[in-house]
Amino acid sequence: MEIKKSGSELLKKTATFLKEVEIEFKKVVWPDRKFVFAATVIVLVIVLSSAAYVMVVDWGLAKIFDFLTAIFRSGV
């Protein structure tokens, strides 16, 4: 059986929740600019190097595929 809550009780619980959220936000330790910059650079380097690796592998596989299709197309 479901018990319906009144609007004022729901409003009270919402206010309590928001106060608790504010208290928890005060406990958060935010990183400084130097750390954020360093972490961003590291992420960008990893992403760009991964993209370059995938590009080289894709290019190599395309060349191998072109070579094989040329061989089988010529009837050798």
Give the span between the Cα atoms of 59 and 52, in whole angstroms. 10
- Under the banding of pLDDT at 50, 70 and 90, the label for residue 75 is low
- With 60 as the cut, is the pLDDT of residue 2 above it? no
Tell me, yes or no, if the pTM score tops 0.85.
Answer: no
Give the span between the Cα atoms of 76 and 69, in whole angstroms. 11
Sign, CA dihedral 68-69-72-76, equals: negative
Provide φ and ψ at 29, rounded to 5°. -100, 110
Region 46-68: mean pLDDT is: 97
Structure tokens at 7: 């609007």
DSSP state of 5: P
Structure tokens at 44: 């960008």
State the average pLDDT for the chain.
91
Region 27-54: mean pLDDT is: 97
